[in-house]
Amino acid sequence: MSEHLAPAGRVVLAGTPIGNPEDAPPRLAAALATADVIAAEDTRRLRRLCAALGVVPTGRVVSSHEHNEGARGADLVEAAAQGATVLVVTDAGMPTVSDPGYRVVVAAAEAGVRVTTLPGPSAVLAALAVSGLATDRFCFEGFLPRKAGERASALAELARERRTMVFFEAPHRLAVSLEAMGEAFGADRPAAVCRELTKTHEEVRRGPLAELAAWAGELAKIGEVTVVVGGAPESAADPQRALAEVLERVAAGERLKEAVADVAAATGWAGATCTRRRSQPAADHPPLTARR
């Protein structure tokens, strides 16, 4: 069924405050009060938000989270197809952005049911705005994989990304993720860690990845975290220039392996390796092979 033939019902994706309830737009309060069905990631948090806004929902409230969204989505779309206004909310921010909602949107689109949005606060844009890093071009990468190998692979693919990158991270994994980013992007890559945005204890810490990783190791493992990382610097990707920098760092006393790793990450020659002939001292010119 094409969308223009669909009944008057609709699915509304509503952004909710990322911390401070006072950031809720008036339209959200009205939608919570009048929607026929409210699909919430956590119904308890929804009740607390409604209480903070002075709203009493008149519609049916159901849970819709990552574990039941597939099955629940069909019911929500059917309700909208029959003419109901179905409001989809998550614990914080916009549904579908590292939160439930995507499956509902796909099912609604396939059924020809109208999907619209009620915009609200965004941790991605808020963190990007206060990061002090370039905002003209950016990409959102969500949560990194939890397993070390998968996380390293994901970051290796981003080593040459020129756009500013935005990540979500759990507070207890923050230090480990920042360390992994430093290994993949270079310890000196500029970044910003934004904690508890819009809340009483909001904090934004800016600096190179290595410094932020050390700082994060001392933090209490609480709070919502968004990490913004500067994109890869422009590089001519000249292997001779990379070789010269490696030699300079080795001559200054740095270990060959570490020098190669840092230069490779900084220049985009992520696969660069250095070897030394046994007959040559470390200060000689070791051959550099780079593969892109």
Measured between alpha carbons, how far is 19 from 165 in angstroms, rounded to an integer?
Answer: 22
pLDDT of residue 278: 35
Domain stop point among 53, 88, 121: 121
Based on the domain organization, do 111 and 33 belong to the same domain?
A: yes
Q: Is residue 12 part of a domain?
A: yes
Is residue 147 a part of any domain in this protein? yes
- Stretch 145-170: mean pLDDT: 95
88 with 49, same domain: the answer is: yes
Does residue 234 lie in a domain region? no
pTM of the model: 0.75
pLDDT, average across residues 1-7? 47
- Cα–Cα dist 63/194, whole Å: 29
Mean pLDDT of all residues in the chain?
A: 87
Among 77, 93, 121, give the residue marking a domain's end. Answer: 121
pLDDT at 237: 54
In a domain, 156, yes or no: yes
Q: If you average pLDDT over each of 66-75, 182-191, 261-270, which comes out highest? A: 182-191
Where in the sequence is the domain holding 106, given as residue range(s)?
A: 3-121
| CATH classification of the domain holding 209 | 3.30.950.10
Rounded Cα gap, residues 65 and 130, in angstroms? 30
pLDDT in tens, 92-143: 999 999 889 999 999 999 999 999 999 999 999 999 999 999 999 999 999 9
- Please give the tally of structural domains in the chain: 3
Domain boundary pick from 121, 139, 171: 121
Strands of the 138-143 sheet, one edge to the other: 138-143, 164-169, 225-229, 190-195, 203-208
Q: Minimal CA–CA distance to 67: which of 42, 92, 38?
A: 42
C-alpha span between 116 and 13 (Å, rounded): 6
Name which of 81-85, 139-143, 177-181, 252-256 the model is least confident about.
252-256
CA–CA gap between residue 120 and residue 201 (Å, rounded): 21
